[in-house]
Structure 1
Amino acid sequence: MKFSPLHPRQIALLLLPLLLLSSCGRAPTAPAAEIDYGKHRDLAGLVAAILVESATMGNFDEFEVDSPSVVKDPARGSNVPADRFLLFYEGTDVTGMPSIGLVTSNKPDFSSPVIDREQVFAPGPPGTPWEFGATDPSVLLDQRAAENIPGSERRYKMWFEALSGTAGEISTIVYCDSADGSTWSTPVAVTGLDDALASVSFNAGSNGRIVDPVVVLENPDGGIERFLMWFEVVRQDPIPAPPAPQVLPDARSSVIGFAESLDGIAWTVRDAAGSSGVLAAPLLLPRAGSIDGGGLSAPGVALEIDSLGNVLRYHLWYEAQRDLGTNDTTIGYARSTDLQFWERFSLAVLEPSSDSIVPLPFDSDDLKQPTALIEEVVEFGDDGPFLLWYGADEEDLGNLGIPTPNRIGYAHGQ
């Protein structure tokens, strides 16, 4: 994704400061303003999902929808009807098999959809890396396509987590591309990311997995174009000995790593200190006693750039787990100007809705899998400039152990 610069008047920053902490272990830095998000609401004024499970027997997304990835393509504004926004998501059927679906609309809340619940990537045949499903898509619009640059004709690029092995316990990050967002090339497995699993610093363990990639294309003026990827490494944590805090039986913490590539297929894992490959360390680690003390998952990234394409700031949202004794998660936020020093808000930028509201909001339990865009121009009546989509589920108030489906929500902030 590529974004134009934000005019100062487009962002109304609140004066309430939050202390920021660096991923490099520095002391708290200068206070920073909060991004104030408002959640999407229905006509009755209640917080509401913008996409829910189809609940139609046999549909690929019959049971739940989550893991959104949103692209804004201005060229589709001339379509009849127009559908500038494309929402790619993970849809799960009643057997638990995940696929990738697509909804398009001319509005960021995806009301009045043009393409509605199209399955663009189904589980593959036996022997393929995605035979047990396609999950966690990350899609970007290659802005070079508008300039007719050779090699960019297929304007949409997708990376997703492919599942294979027994019951899908093997994760492989794969890449494919498309000219229209509906028909995609045969995926190919990317290379280089496994160095994170071999890195002592990542401490992934024998059963570590790389999941939830997010990719952006950096296109600086006069510089080298490169793809940047942030990804989650799920670690195999040892169970603490008593009297350690309570830990869920299947608890596994996670960290966020970083890699770069010139073609989107061959990747080099890097860290903030300049190390690469198996010597690289995670970009963001859990902070004890904080909103992400139990782990950081599912990064979502947007670039703030100037008129020449140079990056002014990298914005990163992520799923924050407070500790390994609970699976409750919120949305955390970090930012950087150089990919080396990252500042993290000490508080979540988006919290679950109250579980005392009737009817129970769809996002009253966990918030997860954020993805974001930054609007380059905000006109009167528009949302923005920060647009955020996320997965969520509702609280199980009766503690009956009955799974509540994930659904997709939308929020916009200043």
Structure 2
Amino acid sequence: MPHPNDPALRSFIPVDSESDFPIQNLPYGVFSAHGLAPRIGVAIGDYVLDLWELEQDGRLQVEPGTFSAPALNGFMSQGPQVWARTRARLSELLRHDHGELRDSEELRKRAVVPMREAKLHMPFHVAGFTDFYSSKEHATNVGAMFRGKDNALQPNWLHMPIGYNGRASTVVVSGTRVRRPRGQLKPPGAENPSFGPSKRLDFELEMGAVIGQASPIGGMLTEAQAQAMIFGFVLVNDWSARDIQQWEYVPLGPFQGKAFATSISPWVVTSAALEPFRCEGPAQTPPPLSYLQQAAPNNYDIELEVGLRAASMNKPARICRSNFKYMYWSSVQQLMHHASSGCAMNVGDLLGSGTISGPEKGQRGSLLEISWNGTEPLALADGVARTFLEDGDSLTMRGWCQGDGYRVGFGEVEGTILPAES
């Protein structure tokens, strides 16, 4: 049987060469259509393959009821062997030269749903959300703004992945509108803080690692164990209220400035599908402590771009183009560090990479950097300019790996800003 990552594979369902969802991808998500309850499917071209229909028909070997669930957590908990077996089986069922599904008109009508007829939901129940700060370029840019170039990186930054625990309760799926947050504000020169809507609302271009296996409290993780626990990845927009955050973050870090919303893409691209796109990350100097050292290349060559559309614009303008390969600390290192204190990890934990900025000016992954803290307004179309996000603005992120004649993509994560509640 051909390997599911074989570039020569073709599906009997037509897939454009620039589609995010060829047979080499097969990302998992949760969808509903035709009045039926949400269940699990995979994306293939412009269609969703209903895995519950295939499970009921005896075509997939999983625990009973796995794919009728409205979240991926139960499937993920069955472990890497089930993940690999299921992906191989789905690849076989979709191959252009395999007639089992292709030639069964009745099953095909039930199981192959046009994407335009499907509503996409949160793909998994987020057990916990941790956001990291792992792009050296981003951390250097932000540090230089507020502390000067000579003190841009804090002394601990080159020794461990810096992170904080965010709010799982406000992780939302793409397309969910985001209400401008309110909080305490104290602009420079003000004697006392005030309470009101954020005036410096921002996005953060991130990837999120989805944890598919639990680890016990009190333990640690090897590199191999951490690799095996990561089920896949999603696009993440970790919205940020810079003015609320700036006033609150000393001494304990972000809180309300990040707690109001985090948007993720609806499709989880598996680590297995990303395997051909593994690459080395930046050289780490000084070398990490032994528990954080890596023997394998744990970064991924994932192209990322951000589009911003103001309410007065007909189409979005691209404002950033970056790549996940620039991350100084990999997702595997983040997970190893997270568990190193004895912290238990759960199925459905989400690890945000932190803002992904590259070495070039056009690769800055936040408006804080793009506008250099509001001092260099970003020019858009028709005379529109931005330093931070305004009400009615729509922000869209996309990501993909480019293969030989195909791409493995994530779709998009989109959010539109609504005014703060009065």
Fold match by TM threshold 0.5: no
Q: Which has the higher strand share?
A: 1
- TM-score, structure 2 as length reference: 0.26
- TM-score, structure 1 as length reference: 0.27
Q: Which has the higher helix share?
A: 2
- In terms of Rg, which structure is larger? 2
**Greater relative contact order (CA < 8 Å, ≥ 6 in sequence):** 2
